[in-house]
Amino acid sequence: MKTPIYMDYHATTPVDPRVVEEMLPYFTEMFGNAASRNHAFGWGAEEAVEQGREHVAGLIGAEAKEIIFTSGATESDNLALTGIAEFYKDKGNHIITCVTEHKAILDTAHMLESKGHRLTYLPVDNQGCIDLNQLEDAIGDDTILVSLMAANNEIGTIHPLKEIGRITREKGVLFHCDATQGVGHMDLDVNEMNIDLASYTAHKIYGPKGVGALYVRRRKPRVRLSPIIFGGGHERGMRSGTLNVTGIVGFGKAAQLMIEEGTSEREQLQSLAGRLREGITRELDHVHLNGHPTQRHPGNVNLSFLFVEGESLLMGINDIAVSSGSACTSASLEPSYVLRAMGLGDDLAHSSIRFGVGRFNTEEEVDFVIRRVVETVARLREMSPLYEMANEGIDLDKVQWNVH
């Protein structure tokens, strides 16, 4: 076993060697432009793109013609929200999303708000779940889009997509899903769930960075978009630009592997994540699981370690690649907006660590991570008077602190 150990699979994944092998010829031998219709190099590239499109569509139960290739999920999110807002502006200007969505959705929503659109940000409970009744009540005559993610990138909580899709279809409102973190790791069928647009990317499913997709429904209803990138009218006029053939080949292969192996991989991730969580909580007290206990991404373990600073813990386990729930800014240490939206106090929010278990992790690595985390938390708590007071039964919320 080699260190450092990678356990940040929600941030990105290594490219599967089988994906690399599939991509290699398209760098040097089959390097044509998929839009070159006059020679074999272009025809070969176009054929490769269409095969990739089939696999990428198949991953979510869509048709190949419904897939628009982009530079990644962030662009797909931007295109979905701004494209719908612009095209359907005569029908309405109200969009509904959620406070725990990815920044690619929230920042686009804030931009649209500044341009006069009305936005509703649904709250979540302490497990990161929305209230479906609140969603239903929020939909009005001027609502054109509901945008809710599949699986949360920080806490792993899965939204009830089928129920959301039922509500949006009954109300005649379009449903966009940021499926980036969930695709391949949960049941996702755009027709069964009445999803009208879906964003996802290759680099979260062991494909290359820099290539993503936006699913846009073609029938019942036919969804229309205003483009945000203009040029040669590629991708049915929705996204101009020379296609990243090599990336699309890799995306297609990664999707194909997920279709073939995703179910067994899900079980493997659940087993490893369960081993990690149980191993840590068995040895340490005052550990809090963030997110829904069961309706969650199979490889996600987001834990808060009370009486320990997240940044100190990260430094103490610097031979393990994980993510802190708090983002360090130049002026202050701000806890994660997702954890804050769930109502977590600063003590829990500041001490959270996201472990993202993935395809190439082993039981041996998980056991090493358990030992390192337990040792480091125990050492840091030895220096914490608060931990000592809590173990003596003192209610810290009732302590009157002297401030000098």
Nearest residue to 250 (alpha-carbon basis) of 198, 299, 201: 201
- How far apart are the C-alpha atoms of 76 and 213, rounded to whole Å? 6
Integer CA distances (angstroms), 193 to 61, 120, 138, 166, 308, in order: 10, 22, 20, 7, 41
Cα–Cα distance, 345 to 342 (Å, whole number): 9
328 is catalytic: yes
| Burial environment of residue 154 by CB neighbours within 10 A (0 to 12, 13 to 18, 19 or more) | buried
The DSSP output letter for 201 is: E
Which residue of the set 98, 129, 177, 328 is catalytic?
A: 328
Per DSSP, 372 falls in state H
Residue ranges of the alpha helices (H) in 231-322? 245-283, 310-316
State the alpha helices, DSSP H only, in 150-244. 161-171
Q: Which pairing describes strands 326-328 and 323-324: parallel, antiparallel, or unpaired?
A: unpaired
- The residue type of 219 is R
Query: Which residues are known catalytic residues?
Result: 328
